[in-house]
Amino acid sequence: MKYNFNEIEAKWQKHWAENQTFKASNNSDKPKYYVLDMFPYPSGAGLHVGHPLGYIASDIYARYKRHKGYNVLHPMGYDSFGLPAEQYAIQTGQHPALTTETNIKRYRQQLDKIGFSFDWSREVRTSTPEYYKWTQWIFIQLFNSWYNKDSDKAENISTLIDKFEAEGNKAVNAVADDAVEFFTASEWKDFSSEEKQEILLQYRLTYLAETEVNWCPALGTVLANDEIVNGVSERGGHPVVRKKMKQWSMRISSYADRMLQGLNKLDWPEPLKEIQRNWIGKSVGAQVQFKVQNSTSKIDVFTTRPDTIFGVSFMTLAPEHELVNKITTPEQKEAVESYVEATAKRSERERMADVKTISGAFTGAYAEHPFTKEPVPIWIGDYVLAGYGTGAVMSVPCGDQRDYDFAKHFGIDIPNIFKGVDISEEAFADKEKTILANSDFLNGLSYKEGTTKAIEALEKIGQGKGKTNYRLRDAVFSRQRYWGEPFPVYYVNGLPQMIADEHLPIELPEVEKYLPTETGEPPLGNATQWAWDTETSTVVSNTLIDNKKVFPLELNTMPGWAGSSWYFNRYMDGGNTEEFASQDALNYWQDVDLYIGGSEHATGHLLYARFWQKFLFDQGLLPVDEFAKKLINQGMILGTSAFVYRLQDKNTFVSKNLVGDQNVLPLHADVSFVNASGELDIEAFKNWREEFKDAEFILEEGKYIVGNEVEKMSKSKYNVVSPDEICEDYGADTLRMYEMFLGPLEQAKPWNTAGITGVHNFLKKLWKLYVDDNGIKVTDSEPSKESLKTLHKTIKKVEEDIENFSFNTSVSTFMICVNELTAQKCTSKEILEPLAVLLSPYAPHIAEELWSMLGNSESISTAAFPVFDEKHLVESSKTYPISFNGKMRFTLDLPADMSKEDIEKVVMEHAKTKAQLEGRTPKKIIIVPGKIVNIVG
């Protein structure tokens, strides 16, 4: 019987689907284990061979844990809201829901072909109303909460209102806006309803505020920092500018310290944890207030070096700082406005990374030094960011290199406040070696002593206090897009009101166009049915808005990370229509035991998800405050790109080895046009694009040879390889094992199909171990000691490898095992049946088929993992070289535990020994147990 992998794989994929073989139960006596992949965005391009790498690894582990007796939850779904579907809708007019559905079907077909053991009964799609109903519900919980610093957790807003009614807000220790004004209990009672709402917005965990955002005019939307690369949008490469907009924001900064501390208990990659630590960026220092001369304005700055306050020779504000327009003098107005406009075209990341460019503008205004009362010039500079700290710095050029460079560039004084230090060439930043000078009451003090005394003095004059600051900023939560979760919000007199839980979800309305409106409103501004009737609690026509009972709904939608911040909890109880997940299900599954996904999500998804998890934990809705115990970042599978070389300003292409020093432009060519020898199919290339139709080619020996480069596998580089082709030509089991065989899971590795035949041949050899021309050839015969040894050393190695996620070395182990059993002519069921179970996590289709052929009616996934028995690896005998005067004459197999005396007796009585000695008595007999016997004389 031939190994017909296509038939076998189709058969078992159908069987698993029809029997829901991998459906997990929320009630089981078995221990639970939750294995999760970061769910994909279903793009039109489908999966390439790089995408399944992490899925294969997680599937191996999920199947292994089932064999080990665990109740395994291994779900899959789709992160199906997002900008690509919307951009396609803008180009074609096709509704994003239709393209998303088409893409999901394509992904599902591909995933099923690879044989993953997903529990599809729990599938989630973030773009379905059944799912985003609960995303909207979580948003409402955030809106109705505030962060109590005293209890160090989020609490219901009603507890804050109780405090206001009882004692006002002066004693309230909350995370809130910086500009909160104090009021008494009696003043609170006298406030109007609208005034109270505005005050509460300053405390809520999700709130409306004027915020500096990354605005992309071409895409018509706000972008997160991680959606911008080198100052342009990641999608499309469009320019991005900084702009002030009224946005929904999330007070993620409330959880900064808890998220920092929480990293200590997570089994996540250390480099990723370090990225998060740096992103959160804890700093201890002081908040200092500088008064602006000839003005009522004040500038608050946060500094980690209050000890250097006497070294301040200028102040620098972020160009976007709210005081810039207010304090700039008429003489400086033009220069300042020009500088602000130029800065708006640079992203925050670009500004942070650019340490070489020195630029700024003088406002013409001066601040007053808190202690000396001397005037301090106020500048603006793009190295200060509005969103970090207060958006202003007290510049101490003698102690900070950026301030030093700025002062040198603009000719600003650089007073030296460090005893015995030369600052003629550069700033001095070693705080541990600091002894202060020229610093009034701080003279002679160290950094620590000076910091303490400076803070005390600032507090005494009411112009500062000690403070811990975080780099982590509140997350902008609004997007000017159509294809995203609608906010469950309507507005009365410009103030946000939440829609009652029982009326959720608020579904996306139909729109004619997916672009912003002509007046610049988000795409939902094109909807004609997008107003909230408070009397009927329904969405009605915009023409009915009357400011009495029908009100405008929010036009922005939520960002892509909204749905992905809690999806792992929804999988625990996917079909629940009454709550986001039942307490029983949440208490049973608790958290993700193993999470596999890319490290690129360190400061996006993973940070936001931890924030939402901790918030829901504070609400008593989740049993744990971290959602994933262990995280593995899989490496990338790289593609081999093909390049053709076009002569500058000509439609002529030069073969690789003929380029020399000619002026050529390398262009990506589709790898499907290139054969194994690197030769380009010229006709296919010419038919690929209209611009290449009449191209000419300069050949070498009648061939056009392309150049190669290993790069990220990407549709834009035309170097993707579809898993469908591999599955068709070699089978899914081959693909699974080959992807693991390429190298360690965490490392990047190039895709090279040259080695795939070796893995496929291994599976054919495995098949022949069980099956011959007449069918199954496995017998009930006693296994040999050699076969038992082979099996058990394989069990030991494979189990160790899986536990250590060293899947590549397991594949090698299987190959060695099959080679040895083939050489041993093993047909014993006692060996071959457990071998099928061992192999099942890696190559589940062939394993299921062989298991079934061996007479088993249950799926192999229910079989127990083979147990390693050390006795089969213990050598029962030892082969001794028997030497005479140092020359080996014959060998003798003796029991491994035989004593020295017994070894001597057996050797001396052996006929070959007697023949060698010819009746002589040896002078000495040297015996090293387990190694040698040497007879001397």
pLDDT band per the 50, 70, 90 thresholds, residue 239: confident
4 pLDDT more than 80: yes
Select the more confidently predicted residue: 831 or 355.
831
Report whether 344 contacts 488 (CB < 8 A). Answer: no
User: d(Cα 706, Cα 411) in Å, to the nearest integer?
Assistant: 56
- In a 10 Å sphere around its CB, with 0-12 CB exposed, 13-18 middle and 19+ buried, how is residue 363 labelled? buried
pLDDT of residue 83: 84
Nearest CA among 835, 810, 840, 811 for reference residue 822: 835
Lowest mean pLDDT among 263-272, 340-349, 788-797: 340-349
Residue 248 neighbours by CB under 8 Å, 6+ apart = 206, 207, 208, 476, 477, 478, 487, 554, 556
Instruction: Reduce the DSSP state of residue 63 to 3 states and report it.
Output: helix
Print burial letters for 538-576: b (CB count within 10 Å at least 16), e (below 16): ebbeeeebeeeebbbbbbbbbbbbbbbbbbbbbbbbbee
pLDDT for 356 equals 84
pLDDT at 213 over 80: no
Of all residues in the chain, the percent with pLDDT exceeding 90 is 84
Q: Which residues contact 418 (CB under 8 A, 6 or more apart)?
A: 398, 399, 428, 434, 435, 436, 437
Helix boundaries (H) for 506-591: 561-564, 567-570, 583-589
Residue 147 three-state SS: strand
Confidence of residue 226 (pLDDT cuts 50, 70, 90): low
Looking at every residue in the chain, the average pLDDT score rounds to: 94
Cβ(826)–Cβ(833) below 8 Å = no
pLDDT tens, residue by residue, 679-733:
999 999 999 999 999 999 999 999 999 999 999 898 889 999 899 999 999 999 9
Give the E-state strand segments of 684-764 in sequence order.
696-698, 707-712, 749-750
Phi, psi of 816 (to 5 degrees): -65, -45
Q: How many CB atoms lie within 10 A of CB 332?
A: 17
In this predicted model, what pLDDT tens digit does every residue of 723-757 receive, in sequence order?
999 999 999 999 999 999 999 999 999 988 778 99
Q: What number is the average pLDDT over the span 880-890?
A: 93
Q: Is the pLDDT of residue 877 over 80?
A: no
Residue 712, token pair as written in the block: 């990220």
What phi, psi does 365 have (nearest 5°)?
Answer: -95, 165
What pTM does this model have? 0.86
Per-residue pLDDT, 211: 75
For residues 264-288, average pLDDT: 95
Determine the residue type at 720.
V
100 pLDDT exceeds 80?
yes
